[in-house]
Amino acid sequence: MLLTRLITALVLVGLLLTALAQSSPWPFALLTLLLVAAAGWEWGQLNQAGRIPSLIFSAAVVLAGVAALLGSWAATAPPVLWWLAVVLWMVGGSLALRSGPAAWPRLPRAGRWLLGLLCLLAGWLALVNARAVGINFVLSALCLVWAADVAAYFGGRRFGRRKLAPSISPGKTREGVWSGMFGVMLLAFVWLLIDQRFAVDSASLYTRLHASLGWAGMVLALALLAAFSVVGDLVESLVKRSAGAKDSSRLLPGHGGVLDRVDALLPVLPLALALNSLNPA
C-alpha cells in the first residue's frame, strides 16, 4: 500500500512539474483542468448524481475551463472573482460546517452541484492565474497547503487533545490546526530567505504578502490561508461523511480520489490570488 501510494505521488508530481516547467502555460492548464474534471465527477458521485449526470457535470467543468482559457481570464482574471470566491468559502463553508453532515443531503441537489462547480472552477482558475504570475509564486502557494497539512498531522499526533470537529473529521484537533499554522509561518520565513538569496523567476506569495502588508499583515494573512486549508479539508470530509464514503473515489491508487488531494487547495488558491491583488507590483 505504501509503495503504491509513493509511486502514484511520484507520477503525479513528475507530470505536474514537467507541465509547470514548460514555457507555454497550456500544458499545465490542460493537465490541471483534467484533474479538476475528475474531481468534478467525484463531486457528482458524492452528491447523489448517477453515472451519466456525474459525467455531464465533469464535462461542464471542462467546457467552462476551456471557455476561460480561450477568453481573457487564462492569465489575469478580474480580482473581484477571487474575493467573491473567498466570501463564498467563508459564508458557505461556515454554514455547512455548523450544520453538520446530516444537513448536507437535505440541500437541493442542483444547489450542491452548483456550489461544487463554482468551487472547482475558482480553485482551478486561481491555479492557472498563479502560474501566470510565476513558477516560484505558484509553488509557494501549493507548498503552503502541503506544509500546513504535514505540520498539522504531526503536531496533532504529538500534542492533540481537543477535537476540532468530531462529527466531521474525528482525527483533527485544535492543536493540529495551530501546528499547521506554525508550519506555514516557518515555511514562509525560509522562502523569504530563498527569494532574497537566489535567482527566482518571480516573487513568492510570501514576499508579495510582506511587500503589501508588512510583517504583521503577512502573519495574519498566512494564518488565514492556513485556516482556509482546514476549511477546505473539513468541507470535503463533511460531504464524504454525508455520502457514507471514506474516499472521494479510487482514481488515484493509494490516495483515494482527486478531490481528496485538492480539497484544501480549492479555498486557499483564490484567497492567495485575492491577497496578491493587494500588491501593486
Mean pLDDT of 249-253: 89
CA distance 35 to 17: 14
pLDDT, tens digit, 9 for 90 and up, residues 170-181: 999 999 999 999
pLDDT, tens digit, 9 for 90 and up, residues 206-229: 999 999 999 999 999 999 999 999
Per-residue pLDDT at 130 exceeds 80:
yes
The phi and psi torsions of 169 (rounded to 5 degrees) equal -145, 90
* b/e burial code for range 169-208 (CB count within 10 A of at least 16 → b): beebbebbbbbbbbbbbebbeebbeebeeeebebbbbbbb
Residue 233 has, within 13 A of its CA and on its CB side, a CA count of 22
C-alpha cell at 10: 511520484
- 3-12, 75-84, 256-265: which range is least confident on average? 3-12
Handedness of CA 134, 135, 137, 138 (dihedral sign): positive
C-alpha cell at 146: 502541503
Q: How confident is the model at residue 280, as a pLDDT?
A: 60
Mean pLDDT of 20-25: 91
pLDDT, tens digit, 9 for 90 and up, residues 91-125: 999 999 999 999 999 999 999 999 999 999 999 99
Q: How confident is the model at residue 279, as a pLDDT?
A: 74
CA distance 175 to 235: 19
Q: What is the 3-state secondary structure (H, E, C) of 117-172?
A: HHHHHHHHHHHHHHHHHCHHHHHHHHHHHHHHHHHHHHHHHHHCCCEEECCCEEEE
Q: How confident is the model at residue 5, as a pLDDT?
A: 76
48: left (phi over 0), alpha (psi -120 to 50) or beta: left
The single-letter code of the amino acid at 265 is L
- Can you list the alpha helix ranges (DSSP code H) found in the chain? 2-20, 26-46, 51-70, 79-99, 109-133, 135-159, 174-197, 205-243, 258-262, 265-276
The single-letter code of the amino acid at 108 is P
Q: How confident is the model at residue 4, as a pLDDT?
A: 83
pLDDT, tens digit, 9 for 90 and up, residues 48-65: 888 899 999 999 999 999
Per-residue pLDDT at 41 exceeds 80:
yes
pLDDT, tens digit, 9 for 90 and up, residues 70-84: 887 877 899 999 999
Q: How confident is the model at residue 216, as a pLDDT?
A: 97
Round the average pLDDT of the chain to a whole number and report it. Answer: 93
Q: How confident is the model at residue 281, as a pLDDT?
A: 57
Does residue 162 contact residue 173 with C-beta atoms inside 8 Å? yes
Per-residue pLDDT at 90 exceeds 90:
yes
Per-residue pLDDT at 182 exceeds 60:
yes
Three-state DSSP state, 228 = helix
Residue 2 — pLDDT band, cuts 50, 70, 90?
low
Does residue 159 contact residue 179 with C-beta atoms inside 8 Å? yes
Please name the residue that has the C-alpha cell 502541503.
146
How many CB atoms are located within 10 Å of the residue 63 CB?
A: 11
Our measurement of the distance from residue 254's CA atom to the centroid of its chain's CA atoms, rounded to an integer in Å, reads 20
Q: How confident is the model at residue 71, as a pLDDT?
A: 84
* Model confidence, pTM: 0.95
Q: How confident is the model at residue 1, as a pLDDT?
A: 59
